[in-house]
Structure 1
């Protein structure tokens, strides 16, 4: 148990354990029977809690699939906001994606493939995924607008945000994951990095110097 968990009360630790159990159980069930083939009541029963308890942790069934959305969004915006002098938002996003693959190349591929397998069989989840990316764009646009002193829906922050999220979205796509998976394990990090370099180059033709932070 890490230091943060050690400082939590017993009640808080139990809540974290229950939440993770619900996520793990739901993922296993969705993988076996598909998202539409599993009910919230079945997930609750497998974890030995009441169905209403599931909704305390996850307001909708879809939230069990997108449970990490808020954390990823915060990390993305924080990475842009806290980037060092001399760097751009494009630098920050590319570095973040590169670090993700460097830290856990196999785990990153496996987790994204799991997500896409779950989403692929559900029209509702496809719609939710599109909303997630739109939410990311709006949050990044707000951060860029605040930093540059422009209205949030001015052309520059909004277009830059769309481009930045497109890179993130593309690198998390089934096509990229298939490309990476086609390489031997020892070469998957390189394969991902090569694709990311192309994405950076092509996007950078338009926003490479946008919002470069002064030294």
Structure 2
């Protein structure tokens, strides 16, 4: 096995996580989030309920939306790895434009999952918690990229506003247009970022 390649145990864990997540999404799309139990999901993935919670301690919501770590890493990378001529706000808008209800190019299944999240109060609340949980890291990365102090209140405020956009704009009749309007407002408040 080459360096960096996952071992058998890691591959098996990843396969179990994928099986659980896939089973959950299928059941949720078929019957609705509130009409599916964790026992039914575990059974559909041929695992035990304890295995489900070992992989997804966040419960049913985490089966659809994950735990937030990938989201936090991806947000930070969007800011750090932007092209030289792309502003931080443009990079964040581009990043959000590829997520959930904002992605015009999503496949039909992904669109149905995004609609499920927006229309299910528990999933929408969990998604908001995941987004806002990235506030400290996003503010830190913006500070790093701008040479400003990590404790700069205006950067924490900006991070919070950016991370509230998925919840607020995602329920608008035209989410991509609402995303653009939100970032137009942020550009006025933080010119040059």
Counting matched residue pairs gives 187
Greater per-residue helix proportion: 1
Partner residue, 2:187: 204
Q: Matched residues in 1 for 2:150 and 2:14: separation?
A: 39
Q: Matched residues in 2 for 1:169 and 1:108: separation?
A: 21
Q: Matched residues in 2 for 1:127 and 1:196: separation?
A: 19
Residue 83 of structure 1 pairs with residue 82 of structure 2: yes
CA radius of gyration, larger in: 1
Give the drift of 1:64: 0.8
What are the superposed Cα offsets for residues 24-48 of structure 1, whole Å, 9 maximum, x if unpaired? 1101112223223222111111111
- Taking structure 1 as the reference length, the TM-score comes to 0.70
Partner residue, 2:174: 179
Gaps of 5+ in 1: 181-191, 211-215
8 A contact 1:94–1:196 mirrored in 2:
yes
What are the superposed Cα offsets for residues 44-73 of structure 1, whole Å, 9 maximum, x if unpaired? 111111111111211131211212732222
Q: Matched residues in 1 for 2:97 and 2:28: separation?
A: 29
Local SS of the residue matching 2:65: coil
Aligned-residue RMSD, C-alpha = 3.1
Q: CA, structure 1 residues 63+55, in 2 after alignment: closer, same or farther (shift >3 Å)?
A: same
Give the drift of 1:82: 2.6
Q: Matched residues in 2 for 1:11 and 1:24: separation?
A: 20
Q: Matched residues in 2 for 1:206 and 1:119: separation?
A: 28
Gaps of 5+ in 2: none
Partner residue, 1:36: 34
Tell me: higher relative CO, structure 1 or 2? Use CA pairs within 8 A at least 6 residues apart. Answer: 1
8 A contact 2:143–2:155 mirrored in 1:
yes
Local SS of the residue matching 2:106: helix
Where in structure 2 are the equivalents of 1:1-215 lying within 5 Å? 7-61=5-59, 62-67=61-66, 69-98=68-97, 105-107=104-106, 110-118=109-117, 120-122=119-121, 124-147=122-145, 148-152=147-151, 154-170=152-168, 173-175=170-172, 178-179=173-174, 192=176, 196-210=179-193
